[in-house]
Amino acid sequence: MFRLKQSFTIMFSDCDPAKIMFYPRYFQWFDRASQQIFNEVGLPWNETWAQYDMGGFPLVDASASFKAPARMDETVQMETWIDEWRGRTFVVKHVVSRDGEILVEGQEIRVWAVHDASRPAGIRAAEIPEEIKAKFEV
C-alpha cells in the first residue's frame, strides 16, 4: 500500500495565541494530502476527474484524535494512505508525528462521485474502478 510521507514546519500562522498548532489546520493538511496522494500515484485530480466524468471526492466524514500538541517552529511528519476501499467510498488515514511520537491521528471518508444530470446535486456515488485501486498497491 502506497504511503505519502511529508514534513511540515509549524509556522506562526498555523498556531493559536499560545503558539500551539490550531486544530483546524490539521484538517487542511488532511485535505491537501488526500489530493497529493492521488497525484503521487499518477492520478492528478484534474485529469482523473475528466477521464472518469467525476464530480469530485466529497467528504462525508472527517475526524481526528489529538494526542499531543505541536508548537511553532517544530517540524512534524505526516503519513497518509488509503486504508480501505468500500465500493463507492474510501477511507484516508493520516498520522502526524514528531520524532516518532504520534501527535494526531486523522481519518476522512470520501465518495467517488460522478456527474449525473438527473440528480438534484448533479452528482452520484459510483463504484470505484479497480484500476484506480491498483495504483495504490505499490
Helix (H/G/I), strand (E/B), else coil: 100: coil
Rounded Cα distance, 71 and 20, in Å? 4
> Which tens digits make up the pLDDT trace of 3-55?
999 999 999 999 999 999 999 999 999 999 999 999 999 999 999 999 999 99
- Which residues are marked as active site? 16
- Our count of domains for the chain comes to 1
Helices and strands (H, E) in the chain, number of each type: 3, 8
**Sign of the C-alpha dihedral computed for residues 12, 18, 20 and 25 taken in this order:** negative
pLDDT at 129: 97
The domain in which residue 112 lies consists of 3-135
Cell numbers at 10, concatenated: 509549524
Which CATH number characterizes residue 25's domain?
A: 3.10.129.10
pTM for the full model? 0.94
